[in-house]
A and B are shown apart, each in its own frame.
Chain A
Amino acid sequence: MTPTRLGIRTPVGGDTPDFVRDIGNANADLDALIARNLGNMFQPGRLGDGDFKVNSAGATMSVNVLAGVYFVKDDGLTFSELVPIFRNVAPPGTNLAIAASNGSLPRIDQIVANIDGSLAVLTGTATAGATLDNRLGTVALGNDQERLADILIPAASTSISAVNIRDRRMWARGGFTLRLLSGGGASITTASATPAAMSSALAVRLELGGTPIRYKLRGRFHNITATNSIVMDPRVDGVASPSGGEPGATTWTTFPGSGTGGTYVEFETVYTPAARNDGGGVTSDASGSHLIQPWWSSPAASTATLTGSANDHAQLEVEEMLQGNFNNGTS
Chain B
Amino acid sequence: MAILRDAVTSEFIFEGTPLQVVRLADQLGRDEVLFDAVGPAFDPDAVLRAHGETVEGLSGALGEARGSDRTSLQRAVNVAQAEANVDSIVRDAQDSIERARMDYEPGHDDDEPDIPENPGGASLMPKETEPIVTEFRQGPDGTPERSNRS
Contact = CB atoms under 8 A, between A and B. Distances in A.
Interface of A: 59, 100, 102-106, 126, 129-134, 152, 154-158, 161, 163-164, 187, 189-197, 200, 203, 205, 224, 237-240, 260, 291, 297-298, 301-303, 305
A132 B36 contact: yes
A131 B57 contact: no
Contacts of B39: 133, 237-239, 291
B118 to A, nearest CB: 21
A164 B3 CA distance: 10
Contacts of A132: 3, 36-37
Interface of B: 1, 3, 5-12, 15, 17-18, 34-42, 46-47, 49-51, 53-58, 60-61, 68-69, 72-73, 76, 79-80, 100-110, 142
Contacts of B34: 129, 131
B37 A133 contact: yes
Residue among B9, B51, B80, B108 with max Cβ neighbours from chain A (10 Å): B9
B50 A196 contact: yes
Nearest to B142: A59
Given A189-B54, A291-B39, A200 B17 contact: yes
A103 B105 contact: yes
Contacts of B49: 192, 194
Q: Is the interface of A mostly helix, strand, loop or mixed?
A: loop
22 contacts: A103-B104, A103-B105, A103-B108, A126-B110, A132-B3, A154-B11, A155-B9, A156-B100, A157-B100, A189-B58, A191-B55, A191-B56, A192-B49, A196-B50, A196-B51, A203-B1, A224-B69, A239-B39, A240-B41, A291-B39, A303-B57, A305-B72
B58 A238 contact: no
Contacts, number: 143
Nearest to A239: B41
B17 to A, nearest CB: 6
Contacts of A164: 12
Contact of A238 (B1, B11, B41, B68): B41
Contacts of B73: 303
Contacts of A194: 46, 49-50, 53
B128 to A, nearest CB: 23
Given A131-B36, A200-B17, A303-B58, A156 B47 contact: no
A154 B6 contact: yes
A42 to B, nearest CB: 28
A104 B41 contact: no
Contacts of B17: 200
A137 B51 CA distance: 35
B10 A130 contact: yes
Contacts of A224: 61, 69
A59 B68 CA distance: 51
B82 to A, nearest CB: 13
A222 to B, nearest CB: 10
A59 B143 CA distance: 10
A129 B32 CA distance: 11
A104 B36 contact: no
Contacts of A157: 9, 11, 100
A105 B7 CA distance: 10
Contact of B10 (A131, A291, A297, A303): A131
A191 B53 contact: yes
Nearest to B110: A102
A104 B10 CA distance: 10
B111 to A, nearest CB: 10
Nearest to A190: B54
A132 B35 CA distance: 10
Contacts of B57: 191-192, 298, 301-303
A239 B17 CA distance: 17
Contacts of B46: 194-196
Nearest to B42: A238
Contact of A106 (B9, B47, B72): B9
A203 B58 CA distance: 24
A104 B107 contact: yes
Nearest to A158: B103
Contacts of B80: 189
A155 B8 contact: yes
B41 A191 contact: no
Given A102-B109, A224-B61, A297-B50, 11 more contacts: A103-B108, A131-B34, A156-B101, A164-B12, A190-B54, A191-B56, A192-B49, A195-B46, A195-B50, A200-B1, A301-B53
